[in-house]
Amino acid sequence: MSGITAPRGTFDILPEQAGPRAALEAAARELLEAAGYARIETPAFEATELFARGVGESTDIVQKEMYSFDDGGGRSLTLRPEGTAPVCRAYLQHGMHKLPQPVRLYYLSSFFRAERPQQGRYREFWQVGVEAIGSEDPALDAEVIVLLAALLRRVGVRGTRLRIGSLASPGTRAAYRDELAAYLHAHAERLAANVRERIDLNPLRAFDSDDPDTRAVMAGAPRLLDRLDASDAEHFATVRDLLDRAGLAYEVDPRLVRGIDYYTRTVFEFTSDALGAQSGVGGGGRYDGLIEVLGGPPTPGIGWAAGVERILLAAGEPAPSVRPVDLFVAYEERRGDAFATVVEARAAGLAAEMELAGRTLKGQLKHADRLGARYVAIVEPGAVRLRDRGAGTEESLERDAVVARVSAS
């Protein structure tokens, strides 16, 4: 095709794809609202500083994946790459600490990351996510994890696997980072170049490397899970115990690192083997220091986000759900009467359509067949012939009586 196409890594949501998305949205709304979560939506762009501070200067997201631009007045704005920092910004801005805690919020919005596009990885994508702010109770950790498992199950995501870990508190992690950095420096010659360059910037990311030599080095690296202090260890043990009580299977993964800096204590990730290389369906964790980083009082929080496109890919293709047409209004001359009939039918809650493409009467009847319309009203001077396509019958009615007749059937 010549002409303009959608940018690389973006996609149109065509009418036939809208049904499965609406079903996912309905399932999320039903499940999350029943658990006390209320919807929040924040702007598509924010001050760049929010993500630089919140997500972290050393992360891939901030270093190379943000769509940032000048607002024309010298202020840098960024298309949101994720939802947690914006929701925490909104929590602070609107004084939500005055509400009963924890404040439970959910969102279903699009996000933007300048990543290399491939199946399941896009530059604009959608996430359904929750944030529960204002409690450090480990039961809240277990609650959000169980909710994501329930959502994935309800929408038919197959082959899921849940991994959990703990990233400890900032003090413990800082000491561990130094220990890990020293270990990496001692084995620097066997590390991939991109890992070696980042030893001091972000040594934990070395666990993410696919390079075989780096992986061999990491197999012997000290583990944060073995360094948790008593209270972090107890928190993690309680979360595991509650997941056991909920009957949810998981694996403890001491190497689970997530690509965002705000995490503390519990982190988790759901993968699906119905997906290819981009197997992460959803993930999240605690961010007990984030609100303080954004200028608020110390306030704990936990949440997750799951990729809508990945959920739909992993759930497989459901049958398209197009609403059947109740009434197709055909006419030759009485266009105004046909229009009035459609307006009346729609006001009565019927799915109704009229002829709009200049077809002959014969063509219109064929089109009504194609639509699978239950009834066809042929508007003529003085009366309407109403055909029940299922029964194969036809009756003559006053125009005023058509909508009531179809509604009653």
Please identify, using beta-carbon distances, which residue of 236 and 287 lies nearer to ligand HAM.
287
Q: In whole angstroms, how close is the CB of 82 to ligand HAM at the nearest point? A: 4
Note whether 289 binds ligand HAM by CB under 6 A.
no
Distances (CA, A) of 331 to 76, 365, 403: 57, 10, 16
Q: How many angstroms separate the CA atoms of 384 and 201, rounded?
A: 77
Instruction: Give the separation between CA 269 and CA 271, rounded to whole angstroms.
Output: 6
Nearer to ligand HAM by Cβ, of 50 and 403: the residue is 50
Determine if 127 is a binding residue for ligand HAM (CB under 6 A): yes
Helix (H) or strand (E) holding 143: helix 138-154
Q: How many CB atoms within 10 Å of residue 132?
A: 26
Shortest Å distance, C-beta 34 to ligand HAM? 20
**In terms of Cα–Cα distance, which of 204, 208, 132, 210 is closest to 175?**
204
| # chain residues binding ligand HAM, by CB under 6 A | 27
- In the bound state with ligand HAM, the residue whose beta carbon lies nearer, of 214 and 266, is 266
Cα separation, 241 vs 243, whole angstroms: 5
Which helix or strand (DSSP H or E) is residue 206 part of? none
Instruction: Indicate whether 115 belongs to the interface with ligand HAM (CB under 6 A).
Output: yes
> Would you count residue 131 as binding ligand HAM (CB under 6 A)?
yes
Q: What is the dihedral of CA 64, 65, 71, 75, to 10 degrees?
A: -50
Q: Does 208 bind ligand HAM (CB under 6 A)?
A: no
Tell whether residue 51 is a contact of ligand HAM (CB under 6 A).
Answer: no
Rule CB under 6 A: say whether 106 interacts with ligand HAM.
no
308-315 and 15-34 helices cross at what angle (nearest 10)? 100
Scan residues 298-317 and list those touching ligand HAM (CB under 6 A). 303-307, 309-310
User: Bridge-partner residues for 354, per DSSP?
Assistant: 329
**Segment 57 to 86, residues that bind ligand HAM, using CB under 6 A:** 82-84
Q: Is 285 in the site for ligand HAM (CB under 6 A)?
A: yes
| CB-CB contact of 377 with 345 (8 Å) | no
Residue 267 CB, nearest approach to ligand HAM (Å): 8
Q: How far is the CB of 19 from ligand HAM (least distance, A)?
A: 20
Answer whether 114's CB lies under 8 Å from 80's CB. no
- Return the residue nearest ligand HAM (CB atom): 307
- Cβ distance to ligand HAM smaller for residue 121 or 154: 121
Q: Which residues bind ligand HAM (CB under 6 A)?
A: 82-84, 113, 115, 120-122, 125, 127, 129, 131, 260, 280-285, 287, 303-307, 309-310
